[in-house]
């Protein structure tokens, strides 16, 4: 195998990394793309995501008064917001820095591929989704916390 063939096989696209993070970030797919299947953090990403999904299922089955769901749903929200932040970070990273980190053989190459508008569009969508999910998570958590405080105050007053 020639050195050029090895470089093409190991090439990591910033645009693809941004979109994989946007679409499959909460499951750790971007970590597997960038670091391979041996990446421990990639294997750990699905755990909080699935816990949050369990919280959504509990709300659907048991209703909004399920206190365990109150704890689990925000985990999903924060995991989605965290991975959207990673997508923004990848998409906004300078091409030179990207190649130095993920494509070291292209670090000094003036003809190294540059990311285009697809990465920018991925960043915009990640910003929209991440901000929406983060604000919804904060609102949900705050609402549940204050409802719990009111319930406890009613118990004390009786």
Per-residue burial over 61-75, b = 16 or more CB atoms within 10 Å of its CB, e = otherwise: eeeeebeebbebbbb
Residue 12 has pLDDT above 70, yes or no: yes
For the segment 47-75, what is each residue's pLDDT rounded down to a tens digit?
999 999 999 899 889 887 788 888 888 89
Q: What is the mean pLDDT of residues 9-28?
A: 90
Residue 3 has pLDDT above 60, yes or no: no
Least confident window among 42-51, 90-99, 111-120: 111-120
Residue 8's pLDDT band (boundaries 50, 70, 90)? Answer: low
Residue 114 has pLDDT above 90, yes or no: no
Contact (CB, 8 A) for 10 and 33? no
Every domain of the chain and the residues it spans = 14-157
pLDDT at 150: 81
CA distance 75 to 97: 31
How far lies 60's CA from each of 52, 68, 135, in Å? 13, 13, 21
Contact (CB, 8 A) for 130 and 80? yes
pTM of the model: 0.81
pLDDT at 155: 82
How far lies 17's CA from each of 13, 63, 98, 120, in Å? 6, 38, 11, 12
């Amino acid at each position: 195998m020639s050195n050029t063939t090895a470089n093409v096989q190991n090439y990591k696209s910033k645009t693809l990394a941004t979109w994989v993070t946007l679409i499959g970030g909460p499951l750790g797919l971007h970590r597997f793309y960038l670091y391979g299947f041996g990446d421990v953090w990639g294997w750990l990403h699905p755990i909080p995501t699935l816990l949050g999904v369990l919280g959504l299922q509990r709300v659907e089955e048991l209703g909004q008064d399920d206190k365990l769901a109150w704890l689990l749903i925000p985990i999903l929200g924060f995991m989605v917001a965290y991975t959207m932040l990673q997508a923004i970070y990848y998409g906004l990273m300078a091409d030179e820095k990207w190649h130095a980190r993920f494509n070291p053989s292209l670090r000094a190459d003036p003809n190294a591929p540059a990311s285009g508008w697809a990465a920018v569009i991925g960043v915009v969508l990640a910003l929209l989704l991440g901000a929406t999910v983060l604000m919804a998570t904060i609102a949900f958590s705050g609402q549940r916390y204050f409802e719990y405080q009111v319930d406890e105050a009613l118990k004390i007053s009786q």
